[in-house]
Amino acid sequence: MAETPRPEPRYGNRPTMKDVAARAGVGLKTVSRVVNGEPGVTPETEGRVREAIDALGFRRNDSARVLRKGRTATVGLVLEDLADPFYGQLSRAVEEVARAHGTLLINGSSAADPGREQELALTLCARRVDGLIVIPAGDDHRYLEPEMRAGVATVFADRPAGLIDADAVLSDGFGGARDGVAHLIAHGHRRIGFVGDRPRIHTAAERLRGYRAAMEDAGLPVDERWVASGSTEPERVTAALAAMLSGPEPVTALFAGNNRVTVTAVRVLAGRAGGGPPVALVGFDDVELGDVLGVTVIAQDPAALGRTAAELLFRRLDGAAEAPRRVVIGTRLVARGSGEVPPSSG
Amino acid sequence: MAETPRPEPRYGNRPTMKDVAARAGVGLKTVSRVVNGEPGVTPETEGRVREAIDALGFRRNDSARVLRKGRTATVGLVLEDLADPFYGQLSRAVEEVARAHGTLLINGSSAADPGREQELALTLCARRVDGLIVIPAGDDHRYLEPEMRAGVATVFADRPAGLIDADAVLSDGFGGARDGVAHLIAHGHRRIGFVGDRPRIHTAAERLRGYRAAMEDAGLPVDERWVASGSTEPERVTAALAAMLSGPEPVTALFAGNNRVTVTAVRVLAGRAGGGPPVALVGFDDVELGDVLGVTVIAQDPAALGRTAAELLFRRLDGAAEAPRRVVIGTRLVARGSGEVPPSSG
DNA sequence: ATGAAAGCGCTAACAA
DNA sequence: TTGTTAGCGCTTTCAT
């Protein structure tokens, strides 16, 4: 009788409830009762069971438990990039709410790739998360409809769902950008540049809309050369800024559409110190050390975004069955100097 | 952690393979074959099965699969705080390695609380992660021994395990701090302050050791009033700095033991602009916009830390069974100005 | 108070 | 090529 090779050792050789039961000389169900703190076990029996548990190093297999119970006490969060502090803060806030509900959070990065977003979301559904928070990378979420129908509570955050009707918790990008640009206008600027992310990204589009609204509210024309929507790669942003800041009629102020653009803009403006007239800057979304640098920003509250989305999710999980809701989280302007620079010339 | 009671509508009404089989008029195993892309199914049968899958909106339940297969294709990562960019980058790097191995990552925050670290690590073990990466909050990890014996591959990162022998991937805190302080000494400083985290934290202790080594190497005495180890709360750091920077013989340079201290130090030093002589600063660990601010730092590579730990973990998962290893990741000094300021007075 | 039996949804092993 | 039978480790149900 040849020894069958066992390439895939089971979970090590972990003891099961059955093993514990055998060792304690009790029935399986009694072990289950002890492990789960259910009543109906004499202290004496319980002692024997606990002894066996310790001796064997038993730990309940929650995978099996979950299979039987139906719910996993797990929620998923699909975000763009865990290395980005914005999402890190958001995720941490979700984690805290989940923890308060006795639930585990699994988060994963889509890397801004719609395909990865879908793959990850569906992987989480296959693992039977009870609920899902999605920060969209793509703009078509119909792939989630069967899951939602099957009972996966789903809330979108930061950006709305595409082509389906679903809960969403968003920052007020339109209002925030409008306020920021109005702030620059109030300080005397008339030629204001906008550098933001690709316009198919909802948040970027909203912020651009806010920019245009503020300009229009002030009766100011927008030269399309002042508007640079596209990738937020430092190279592209740097080039876009160079273009806006040169020529006979350069912009005197900049509105940066997100924090990566803001960071690049700060670098570029710092780099040309002495090499040109001062340029005002307001950025959407706060950056670390923004206070030290004196960067005026429209601050979002990523933690509030995450917390609110998670709370809505758990309300759904608890049975709230109203129509999909859209919650908007306000922004606030933090004046620190860079946005209060007056225009340098005509 | 109050468990909120949820109503019953579980994922119970989800179709199973059995339902698909019934609808397609085939056996259960045939559905399994189609779902898993196993050979031995005629295209025609496969078509019928796929049709049923689509019609029913079936998705394989990976919880059940995992139970049967023994491996969960999941690894856990216990870190301190997801909202901290250092851990965010580390986590993201782990995620990418895991993804390349077809494995899901579950990360969770200990909030620097040893109790939470243990709770989280054991929760992950109960969910039968195949492996675990732990960034210690506590300094006693004997609670993990039964798990490791039972086959949970475990690697510690950023800080070594306490009281057990296990793999660890660490930054060279000693060497980095020594280099940073030597850099300040090379620029003429003799009274150098050290502000770092609580000394029971391994990394903090190592960095302090590096500080002392550099001072000793240069034959410089260390006045214990220059050393402030403790919480990295801004208030405490601010107070510590105020003390060092006042008096008849203030320090002329500072070594900040971690990035939170660095950030506070930058704020404090910026705040006293004009209110005192310039003070040199070198920080351990990079900070965002450090280049713009001109902060000289000893840069760690959190992504390398995460990647290396994950690769070691997967090597263990693939059967590597040598003795526990300790891998040290180098740091590098990034001179940007703040560390090259000469001492302002005798 | 305790336990035996029947699944949860899936895959491994073995028929047919 | 296809289907049947056992479980994976746990909870549920219903006896005892």
User: What is the model's pLDDT at position B344?
Assistant: 82
User: A332-334 and A326-329: which strand pairing?
Assistant: unpaired
**B123 shares a domain with B179:** no
CATH number, domain of A257, equals 3.40.50.2300
Interchain proximity A82–B82, CB inside 8 Å:
yes
| pLDDT, greater one: A216 or B293 | A216
Is the pLDDT assigned to residue A88 strictly greater than 50?
A: yes
**B150 shares a domain with B76:** yes
Is the pLDDT assigned to residue B10 strictly greater than 60?
A: no
Q: Is residue B196 part of a domain?
A: yes
Interchain proximity B67–A63, CB inside 8 Å:
yes
Is the pLDDT assigned to residue A273 strictly greater than 90?
A: no
Is the pLDDT assigned to residue B5 strictly greater than 60?
A: no
Share of chain A above pLDDT 70, in %: 95
Sign of the dihedral defined by the CA atoms of residues B146, B149, B150, B153, in that order: positive
Q: Is residue A7 part of a domain?
A: no
User: What is the model's pLDDT at position B287?
Assistant: 84
Q: For residue A117, what are its two tokens? A: 């977003």
Residues 6+ apart with CB under 8 A from B77: B91, B94, B105, B106, B107, B108, B132, B133, B134, B135
pLDDT digits (tens, 9 = 90+) for B85-94: 999 999 999 9
- Average confidence (pLDDT) over B204-211: 97
CB atoms within 10 A of CB B168: 23
Q: Is residue B3 part of a domain?
A: no
Identify the closest residue of chain B to A10 by CA–CA distance.
B70
- Average confidence (pLDDT) over B255-262: 93
A123: closest CA of chain B, how far (Å) = 9
Is the pLDDT assigned to residue B114 strictly greater than 90?
A: yes
**B295 shares a domain with B196:** yes
CB-CB: which of A62, A151, A289 is closest to B9?
A: A151
**A156 shares a domain with A166:** yes
User: What is the model's pLDDT at position B345?
Assistant: 62
Q: Is residue A3 part of a domain?
A: no
**Are B298 and B179 a contacting pair, CB within 8 Å?**
yes
Q: Is residue B65 part of a domain?
A: no
B140/B144 Cα distance (integer angstroms) = 9
Share of chain B above pLDDT 70, in %: 95
**A290 shares a domain with A228:** yes
CA B65, C1' D8: Å apart? 9
Share of chain A above pLDDT 90, in %: 86
User: What is the model's pLDDT at position B271?
Assistant: 82
Residue A245: what residue type?
L
- Average confidence (pLDDT) over B134-150: 95
Contacts of B287 in chain A (CB under 8 A): 288-289
Average pLDDT, chain A: 92
Mutation target to probe the A interface, by most A beta carbons within 10 A, among B127, B142, B291 is B127
- Average confidence (pLDDT) over B136-163: 95
**A160 shares a domain with A117:** yes
Is the pLDDT assigned to residue B346 strictly greater than 90?
A: no
| pLDDT interval class at B2 (50, 70, 90) | very low
CATH number, domain of B54, equals 1.10.260.40
Strand blocks (E) in B64-222: 74-79, 104-109, 131-134, 153-157, 167-171, 192-196
pLDDT digits (tens, 9 = 90+) for B17-61: 999 999 999 999 999 999 999 998 999 999 999 999 999 999 999
Interchain proximity B288–A287, CB inside 8 Å:
yes
| pLDDT interval class at B63 (50, 70, 90) | very high
Q: Is residue A8 part of a domain?
A: no
Give the residue with minimal CA–C1' separation from C9. Answer: B64
CA A34, C1' C3: Å apart? 14
Is the pLDDT assigned to residue B275 strictly greater than 80?
A: no
**A296 shares a domain with A201:** yes
- Average confidence (pLDDT) over B310-318: 96
Contacts of B1 in chain A (CB under 8 A): 99-100, 102
A132/A166 Cα distance (integer angstroms) = 12
pLDDT digits (tens, 9 = 90+) for A142-197: 999 999 999 999 999 999 999 999 999 999 999 999 999 999 999 999 999 999 99
B121/B79 Cα distance (integer angstroms) = 10
**A39 shares a domain with A93:** no
**B160 shares a domain with B222:** no
> A251 lies in which domain range?
173-300+333-340
pLDDT digits (tens, 9 = 90+) for A12-22: 579 999 999 99
**A296 shares a domain with A306:** no
**B154 shares a domain with B45:** no
Q: Is residue A315 part of a domain?
A: yes
Interchain proximity A289–B291, CB inside 8 Å:
no
* Of the candidates A112, A295, A257, the residue with the CA atom closest to the CA atom of residue A173: A257
User: What is the model's pLDDT at position A291?
Assistant: 85
Is the pLDDT assigned to residue A346 strictly greater than 60?
A: no
CB-CB: which of A8, A150, A319 is closest to B57?
A: A150
Interchain proximity A63–B127, CB inside 8 Å:
yes
Domain count, chain A: 3
Is the pLDDT assigned to residue A1 strictly greater than 80?
A: no
Give the residue with minimal CA–C1' separation from D9. Answer: A64
CB pairs under 8 A between A and B: 185
User: What is the model's pLDDT at position B274?
Assistant: 66
CB-CB: which of A106, A147, A152 is closest to B106?
A: A106
- Average confidence (pLDDT) over A26-40: 94
Is the pLDDT assigned to residue B9 strictly greater than 60?
A: no
Is the pLDDT assigned to residue A296 strictly greater than 90?
A: yes
Nucleotides of D under 7 A from a protein CB: 1-5, 7-13
Residue A281: what residue type?
L
Q: Is residue A157 part of a domain?
A: yes
Is the pLDDT assigned to residue A238 strictly greater than 80?
A: yes
Sign of the dihedral defined by the CA atoms of residues B21, B22, B25, B27, in that order: positive
**A308 shares a domain with A202:** no
Q: Is the CB of A73 under 7 A from strand D?
A: no
| pLDDT interval class at A9 (50, 70, 90) | very low
